């Protein structure tokens, strides 16, 4: 008897093709749409109903069963509230990572298993092998960075069918099969509210922030910002400080509501050769002294060689062979051994 796989179908092309590939491989496939967010925001319509119908249509085209799981309450408490709290504290979180940790590879997995599934699958561009997480085969679309907090036990029950494909190839398969999502654009913006920008979303949750002072590297007051919590380290755009060289954010103080900037791209506040990580998660085992590791300090950032990994109480200090720019408190740094994701933590 074929294994039952529940595929998380978002209404996009990646998860649509994942379901198609698994059916072709002989699995007993059920599509599941996770309803995580349905609230409209000022000037922005939430597209969950359209996405749900797109996923349902593909399931019908493929001739597979289809379900809806309503996770909205859990999503609000475990992802949205976490994200808002981090911004309020002056940090820059990554809600997609928390969504994968708490919703897709914990809540969805446990619900699907109770519902009769043997495995779950997603449309992530990453690979899973024997409980190990590997980078997607094609680096320009690799999403393993967002999955470093998934547990080994969850990976053992998970499939990622498009992890060895390139995006154009995925679209080609969708077109060949006549899937209705073949030409659907990739969703952008916050993972759960579609096209809405982070500033608009935080304003809807927290209200309008008070403007404050922008202070340069000389301690001079050079302008006014829209609220310190909206800015991240290394940010160049959105400062509205005109004339001369571009300014880069080097820091902020949410208590004083001040943002600190520099025109010096070599400013020591922008570059670090060492970082500290909290909330460490190792997928399979802790790093050892014999192996060579690399770190990615933000999605799409280049991998940097690690010279030392030192445990300091519950945190870790990571010494690097080269300097990295714009380390941002609250963001995730992910450690790799060749193409295997070892784990990572939150920059402090």
Catalytic annotation, residues:
99, 191
Q: Is 28 helix (H, G, I), strand (E, B) or coil?
A: strand
Instruction: Taking the CA atoms of 185, 191, 196 and 199 in sequence, report the sign of the dihedral they define.
Output: negative
- Please tell me the distance from the alpha carbon of residue 100 to that of residue 136, in angstroms, as a whole number: 16
- Please tell me the distance from the alpha carbon of residue 96 to that of residue 101, in angstroms, as a whole number: 9
Nearest-Å Rg of the Cα atoms of the chain is 21
Q: Is 299 helix (H, G, I), strand (E, B) or coil?
A: coil
CB within 8 Å of 160: residues ≥ 6 apart: 18, 121, 122, 123, 124, 125, 126, 127, 128
CB atoms within 10 A of CB 228: 25
Which tokens hold the place of 344?
A: 């990572």
Query: What are the helix (H) ranges across the chain?
Result: 13-24, 48-62, 72-75, 81-88, 95-99, 108-114, 152-155, 167-176, 198-206
35: left (phi over 0), alpha (psi -120 to 50) or beta: beta
The CA-to-CA distance between both ends of the chain, in Å, stands at 49
230: left (phi over 0), alpha (psi -120 to 50) or beta: alpha
Q: Is 10 helix (H, G, I), strand (E, B) or coil?
A: coil
In angstroms, how far is CA 277 from the centroid of its own chain? 17
| No. of helices (H) and no. of strands (E), the chain | 9, 17
**308 touches 346 (CB < 8 A):** no
């Amino acid at each position: 008897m074929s294994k039952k796989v529940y595929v998380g179908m978002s209404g996009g092309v990646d998860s649509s093709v994942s379901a198609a590939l698994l059916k072709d491989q002989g699995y007993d496939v059920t599509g599941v749409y996770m309803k995580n967010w349905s609230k409209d925001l000022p000037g922005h319509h939430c597209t969950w109903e359209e996405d749900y119908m797109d996923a349902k249509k593909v399931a019908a085209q493929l001739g597979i069963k289809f379900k809806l799981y309503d996770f909205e309450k859990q999503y609000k408490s475990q992802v949205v509230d976490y994200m808002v709290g981090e911004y309020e504290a002056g940090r820059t979180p990554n809600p997609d990572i928390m969504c994968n940790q708490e919703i897709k590879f914990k809540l969805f997995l446990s619900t699907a298993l109770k519902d009769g599934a043997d495995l779950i699958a997603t449309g992530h561009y990453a690979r899973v092998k024997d409980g190990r997480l590997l980078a997607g085969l094609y680096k320009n679309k690799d999403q393993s960075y967002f999955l470093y907090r998934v547990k080994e036990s969850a990976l053992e029950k998970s499939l990622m069918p498009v992890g060895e494909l390139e995006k154009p190839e995925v679209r080609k398969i969708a077109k060949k099969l006549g899937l209705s999502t073949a030409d659907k654009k990739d969703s952008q913006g916050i993972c759960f509210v579609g096209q809405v920008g982070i500033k608009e979303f935080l304003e809807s949750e927290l209200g309008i922030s008070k403007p404050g002072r922008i202070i340069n590297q000389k301690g001079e007051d050079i302008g006014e910002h829209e609220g310190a919590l909206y800015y991240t380290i290394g940010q160049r755009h959105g400062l509205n400080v005109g004339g001369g060289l571009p300014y880069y954010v080097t820091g902020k103080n949410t208590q004083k509501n001040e943002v600190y900037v520099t025109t010096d791209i070599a400013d020591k506040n922008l570059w670090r050769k060492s970082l500290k990580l909290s909330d460490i998660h190792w997928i399979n085992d802790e790093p050892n002294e014999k192996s060579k590791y690399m770190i990615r300090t933000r999605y799409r950032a280049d991998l940097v060689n690690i010279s030392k990994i030192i445990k300091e109480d519950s945190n870790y200090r990571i010494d690097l062979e080269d300097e990295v720019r714009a380390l941002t408190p609250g963001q995730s740094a992910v450690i790799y051994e060749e193409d295997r994701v070892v784990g990572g933590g939150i920059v402090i």
